[in-house]
Amino acid sequence: MTMDARSNQNRSANPGMPDAPAKYRAYPQVNIPDRTWPGKIIDAAPIWCSVDLRDGNQSLVNPMGHDRKARMFQLLLDMGFKEIEIGFPSASQTDFDFARWCVEQGNVPADVSLQVLVQCRPELITRTFESLEGSIKPIIHFYNSTSELQRRVVFNKDVAGIKQIAVDAAKMITDMAEKAGGGYRFQYSPESFTGTELDVALEICNAVIEEVKPTADNKLIINLPSTVEMATPNVYADQIEWMCRNIDNRENIIISLHPHNDRGTGIAATELGLMAGADRVEGTLFGNGERTGNVDVVTLALNMYTQGVDPKLDCTEIERIKEVYEYSNQMVIPERHPYVGELVYTAFSGSHQDAINKGMKAIKVANDPHWEVPYLPIDPQDVGRTYEAIIRINSQSGKGGIAYILNQDYGLNLPRGLQVEFREDIQRITDEEGKELPSKAIYERFLERYVEQPGARLQFVEHHSHTDSSNKQVRMVEAEIVDNGETKRIDGRGTGPIDGFVNALSSYLGIDMTVANYSEHSLQHGSNAAAICYMEMESPAGKVFGVGINTNIVAASLAAVVSAANRYLEMQASA
């Protein structure tokens, strides 16, 4: 068989994709049978380091200018980051100038460390120290790539040569820090750690540790980046646990994670890495970064928060965080992004809406501080969002969602039967229009169909009632209605004004109507307090609802009877 024939055969068996086993290899597993991380939980926040102004910035189509950087920097301070990587000052004048601005004018609190990145090259290290003169406890973050692929393809060096680069840089940096009077902190990254054999990564990191000589008062940060996410999250966790077990001077080492999201599992890899013993996380707001991005520290923080752990980052103003992110990065956050996306607290599905509606009602009366609402793992108010957009209505929506919107936005408590009846009307509209129906449109349709009823035959005007002089158990009712534009007076008698009016209207129309169900409540929407009455009327033709609104509850009830009668007449006309 020719090569072309084999190629065609493969495409036929698996159309659209080349033969994976021939082109890709599975990532090797870590031999650590007594791993402990699967049984661990995250019960405390890590040390957070934002790399938005460096790793995030270098991935932008239009890198930040000073104003965009300054606004992002202030946000990061306000959120509570204690370590912020502000740039790569030896790589560009822009980054150098911004580092000087942070030191001189950035109003950096004394407990915040500015971090800068530098390659293990002497001339770059010298320039980096110049950028940080006058700063308080800054972090010099030096790195070199250690992976087998880069050793072979990029640098053409063996392990000893790569290790020497790291050790020489560590010596130069610590010497320069000492000459500058001390006060510096140090961080080393074996870049492309996930592509580096574990024994090689350990050997290089231990050599750097021996040169830096970290102490309890000045711990060395060993950052183990998933520069390119290459395997499932459990493998990264195994790598971290293995390094934590085997690294020298562990008590004076801060193990840091710097995950990327190439496989779409950066969040999971970070959480498992923390379970595996890491102390620190580097990431960006909402995951901006090279390729598919860095790990999203906001999602990580709020994941912890929903598990009852204080993340030590203030995410209560999620809309402000989103606004600054989009301004500074000139990127738009997707509608479905966890916690911040426009639609993440919104339900369109009818079953979801019904469950949320019931959950919101239950939590109001529950004597329990814990948040428990179906489909909402976090209270939107905790991140500065409101309940207004939790439920939105389209053709997939149900009665519970419509009822929730009318209750939350307009104070209406529709009885279940009316929810079912009105839902059919709204679904007909959304099916015809093929789009979402806003809250105002739903409310206006409710008023049009049940209260105002433009073009309807009947209108309620007023009524008077008094006790029958011959039987004090009976009320006599006199009412004025409008029938097709003409004012009419109708009279009836019953056990009360509603019963008497129903009898009068039934006699006038020749329809045997009775009250099947009745409910009412005060209505505090708009400038005038009023009462709303929901009247379910029954006749030989079936049941139908009417609604009345009036400052007088009896008048509202009688208006609801007329509303129901209009709907009977409409049904008869269309039959």
**Residues 436-459: tens digit of each pLDDT:** 778 888 899 999 999 999 999 999
Coil/strand/helix, residue 358: helix
Would you state the pLDDT for residue 250? Answer: 98
Q: Determine the pLDDT at residue 1.
A: 45
Q: pLDDT value at position 156? A: 87
pLDDT in the model for residue 23: 87
Average pLDDT over residues 312-335: 95
Q: What is the pLDDT of residue 399?
A: 58
pLDDT at position 414: 92
Residue with tokens 């300054």: 70
Confidence label for 295 from pLDDT (cuts 50, 70 and 90): very high
The pLDDT of residue 527 is above 70: no
Segment 374-398 shows an average pLDDT of: 73
| Range 318-345 burial, b when 16+ CB lie within 10 A, else e | beebbebbeebbebebeeebbbbeeebb
- Decide if 496 contacts 473 (C-beta within 8 A): no
What residue type is assigned to position 409 of the chain? D
Phi, psi of 438, deg, nearest 5 = -70, 160
Tokens of 130: 């110049």
Angle between helices 399-410 and 416-433 (to 10 degrees): 100
Per-residue confidence band for 2, with pLDDT thresholds at 50, 70 and 90? low
pLDDT at 188 over 80: yes
- Of 90-94, 181-185, 217-221, 529-533, the one with minimum mean pLDDT is 529-533
CB 150 within 8 A of CB 120: no
**H-helix or E-strand containing 240?**
helix 233-246
If pLDDT is split at 50, 70 and 90, which confidence band does 561 have?
A: very high
Beta strands at 113-119 and 139-145: parallel, antiparallel or unpaired: parallel
* Paired tokens of 380: 């939107």
- The CA distance from 422 to 445, in Å, is 9
Q: Quote the pLDDT of residue 317.
A: 95
Compute the distance between CA of residue 325 and CA of residue 277 in angstroms, rounded to an integer.
Answer: 30
Question: Higher pLDDT residue, 47 or 440?
Answer: 47
* pLDDT tens digits along 91-140: 999 999 999 999 999 999 999 999 999 999 999 999 999 999 999 999 99
pLDDT at 395: 47
Q: Which residue matches tokens 């004090």?
A: 472
Task: Give the separation between CA 174 and CA 165, rounded to whole angstroms.
Answer: 14
Average pLDDT over residues 551-561: 93
Q: What is the pTM of this model?
A: 0.73
If you average pLDDT over residues 374-400, what whole number do you get?
72
For 219-276, give the secondary structure using H, E and C.
Answer: CEEEEEEECCCCCCHHHHHHHHHHHHHHCCCHHHEEEEEEEECCCCCHHHHHHHHHHC
| Residue pLDDT, tens place only, 243-291 | 999 999 999 999 999 999 999 999 999 999 999 999 999 999 999 999 9
pLDDT for the residue 396: 57
421-426, long-range: CB < 8 A, 24+ apart: 421/544, 421/545, 422/446, 422/449, 422/450, 423/397, 423/398, 423/399, 425/449, 426/393, 426/397, 426/402
DSSP 368: -
3-class DSSP assignment, residue 551: coil
371 has pLDDT over 50: yes
Residue 492 has pLDDT above 70, yes or no: yes
- Residue 528's pLDDT is what? 61
Q: Among 18-27, 175-184, 276-285, 551-560, where is mean pLDDT lowest?
A: 18-27
Over range 58-80, report the average pLDDT. Answer: 95
Distance of CA 166 to the CA centre of its chain: 40
User: Rounded to a whole number, what is the distance in angstroms from the first to the last CA of the chain?
Assistant: 74
Edge-to-edge strands of the sheet including 458-468? 458-468, 471-483, 486-494
Which residues, 6 or more positions from 43, have their beta carbon under 8 angstroms from its beta carbon? 309
Asked whether the predicted pLDDT for residue 559 surpasses 80, the reply is yes
Torsion of CA 56, 58, 63, 66, to 10 degrees: 80
